[in-house]
Amino acid sequence: MSEDGHNIATSSDTIRFMLDGELYELADVDPTRTVLQFLREDLGRTGTKEGCAEGDCGACTVVLAELNKDGSDLTVRAINSCIQFLPTLDGKELITVESLGRDGNLHPAQQAMVDHHGSQCGFCTPGFVMSLLALYKSNPKPSRREIDDALAGNLCRCTGYRPIIAAAEAMYDAGPDTAWLRQPATSANAKNKAKKLRAPTDRINALKDLRRDSCLTLTGSGRTFFAPTTSDEFAGLLAIHPDATILAGGTDIGLWVTKQHRELDTIIYTGRIEELNQVKVTVSQIEIGAAVSLTDAMEPILDAYPDLDELFKRFASPPIRNAGTLGGNIANGSPIGDSMPALMVAGTTLVLRRGRSRREVSLGDFYIEYQVKDLRPAEFIESIRMPLLGDDVILRSHKLSKRFDQDISAVCSAYCLELDGELVTTFRMACGGMAATIRRAERCEAAVVGKPWNNDTIDAACKALARDFEPISDMRASRGYRLRGAQNLLRRFYLESRGDADASVYSYGR
């Protein structure tokens, strides 16, 4: 029994989650089975669609409700079920498009889609409805920008989006929905215990009953899944299984299974580790646990550095940000990761843990070469420490890609600038997409520091930048395009830092 009087689940061999007011307990599950496969193949819930199987199109979108940090309320967020492994549902509530109907009536999000002709072929419609539901439950009065962002992870080939946006704006006209989900009269599965939920308080208490105080250990199909609850437990498991796959949000690892068909024999999940899910803000730094979602990590970062807003809005889509983690993005070590350039120029460090030992390394030193990082066997990222720089420091990042939303960068650059009058006292620049790893532009920086912040200095910096990187040509951009793009993004930063009101209309060419 927990301190708040609720039962603590102690079984270590079943996945326990809520769906339509019922408790589901699943054993002998393949740990790499996706939520989408479970819904469509095991439950016959075919409203959730498979489009891309990689978290890009949004046809598979579902909503997860889970307890907030203090257990007083629910956090409701959309995720991509096609790359979410089934065991990660443990302790949460799953909501699908079939969950929304009640007594023959549609949910306001569904009704608005009907009224505003937001569906044509219908394949993408359930995913849009679920993204709208998450918006409906989390934002009572969204702006057009917020609506666009909420729908950025859902693609439609038919409607042109105008009627879907109209539906998003109109769904609030019906007022709040009095019931979250339909309430089944009887259990749909004889093995599951039906539990009717008539109010959010009941839903909160139901999830409290699913809390665990011990590691979930699940085996199935010859694979093992561990979900520890403490950093000590995690460190111990990794020492025993140094070759285990560390799973955070699954936004990359999910594709290892769905696209690359990799066999993952042992998985250790970080999503339930309390220490790795904390954010601590002090007068000198923001410390973000490695398992904190990108959505939750963005809030303190943007509070400190609001100029990074556009970068984070363009970072993947809301369902990906809701599941993916900042620690996972860093540990993945992709040369086109969008968070690392800004973190790098800010002077971010990583707390690495192995057993009971910890060490702190600079993010700039963490990447050695392509997909090679300064990580020892059984060592993991425990937290990310981002310094809080002075108010006079300018921290900004630019992304160059073919689409504004949800696109992989051709170039992502970040800058940290401090001036003493017209003289540059601090200048750091880092680039993604320009080399085998994300790294600093050291020759460019040397051409700027100690010089006046003017056009002549920027011209010299752009020439030095060409000596810092030798980008490759690939399907996203040619070598020349990347280099010219990085140079012109630097010029754009210069114009913006000067307070030029017309900087946004300048051509990238010069």
Instruction: Using CA atoms of 313, 317, 319, 325 in order, give the dihedral in degrees to the nearest 10.
Output: -70
- Give the model confidence (pLDDT) of 155-178 as tens digits: 998 988 999 999 999 999 987 776
* Closest CA relative to residue 318, chosen from 151, 472, 440: 151
No. of helices (H) and no. of strands (E), the chain: 17, 21
* C-beta separation of 489 from 465 below 8 A: no
Band of residue 179 on the pLDDT scale cut at 50, 70, 90: low
- Give the model confidence (pLDDT) of 210-243 as tens digits: 998 899 999 999 999 999 999 999 999 999 999 9
Tell me which CATH homologous superfamily contains domain 15-99+181-209: Beta-grasp domain (3.10.20.30)
User: DSSP label at 503?
Assistant: G
pLDDT of residue 317: 92
Cβ neighbours of residue 476 under 8 Å, at least 6 residues apart? 401, 402, 408, 410, 433
Residue 40, helix vs strand vs coil:
helix
Distances (CA, A) of 354 to 19, 224, 234, 375, 453: 38, 21, 10, 9, 44
CA angle in degrees (0–180, nearest 5) for 471-406-166: 155
- Gap between the Cα atoms of 363 and 347, Å rounded: 7
- What phi-psi label fits residue 508: left (phi over 0), alpha (psi between -120 and 50 degrees) or beta? alpha
Fold of 394-505: Enolase-like; domain 1 (3.30.390)
Element (H, E) at 108: helix 108-115
Fold of 275-387: 3.30.465
Residue 509, Cβ density class (10 Å: 0-12 exposed, 13-18 middle, ≥19 buried): exposed
Residue 257, helix vs strand vs coil:
helix
Type of residue numbered 132: L
pLDDT of 109 > 50? The answer is yes
The better pLDDT of the pair 197, 456 is held by 456
Q: Look up the CATH number of domain 108-174.
A: 1.10.150.120
Band of residue 499 on the pLDDT scale cut at 50, 70, 90: confident
Average pLDDT taken over every residue of the chain: 90
pLDDT of residue 126: 97
- Give the model confidence (pLDDT) of 455-489 as tens digits: 999 999 999 999 999 998 988 899 999 999 999 99
Domain ranges of the chain: 15-99+181-209, 108-174, 216-269, 275-387, 394-505
pLDDT of residue 312: 86
Q: Say how many C-beta atoms besides its own lie within 10 A of residue 355's C-beta.
A: 12
Cβ neighbours of residue 54 under 8 Å, at least 6 residues apart? 82, 83, 254, 255, 258, 259
For tokens 């410390």, name the residue. Answer: 287
For tokens 């800010």, name the residue. Answer: 346
pTM (2 d.p.): 0.89
Q: Spell out the alpha helix ranges (H) of 428-478.
A: 442-446, 455-468
User: DSSP label at 414?
Assistant: E
- Give the model confidence (pLDDT) of 117-157 as tens digits: 999 999 999 999 999 999 999 998 999 999 999 999 999 98
Q: Look up the CATH number of domain 216-269.
A: 3.30.43.10
* C-beta separation of 395 from 298 below 8 A: no
- Residue 178 φ/ψ, nearest 5 degrees: -75, -20
* C-beta separation of 433 from 343 below 8 A: no
User: DSSP label at 81?
Assistant: G
The better pLDDT of the pair 104, 400 is held by 400
Band of residue 73 on the pLDDT scale cut at 50, 70, 90: confident
pLDDT of residue 181: 56
Q: What b-and-e string marks burial along 74-83, b requiring 16 or more CB atoms within 10 Å of the CB?
A: bbbbbbbbbb
Residue 10, Cβ density class (10 Å: 0-12 exposed, 13-18 middle, ≥19 buried): exposed
* C-beta separation of 337 from 432 below 8 A: yes
Type of residue numbered 66: E
- Give the model confidence (pLDDT) of 369-396 as tens digits: 998 999 999 999 999 999 999 899 999 9
- Gap between the Cα atoms of 267 and 382, Å rounded: 17
pLDDT of residue 101: 78
* C-beta separation of 18 from 184 below 8 A: no
* C-beta separation of 131 from 150 below 8 A: yes
pLDDT of residue 500: 66
pLDDT of 508 > 50? The answer is no
The pair of three-digit structure tokens given for residue 97, joined into one six-digit string: 């498009």
pLDDT of 247 > 60? The answer is yes
Band of residue 1 on the pLDDT scale cut at 50, 70, 90: very low
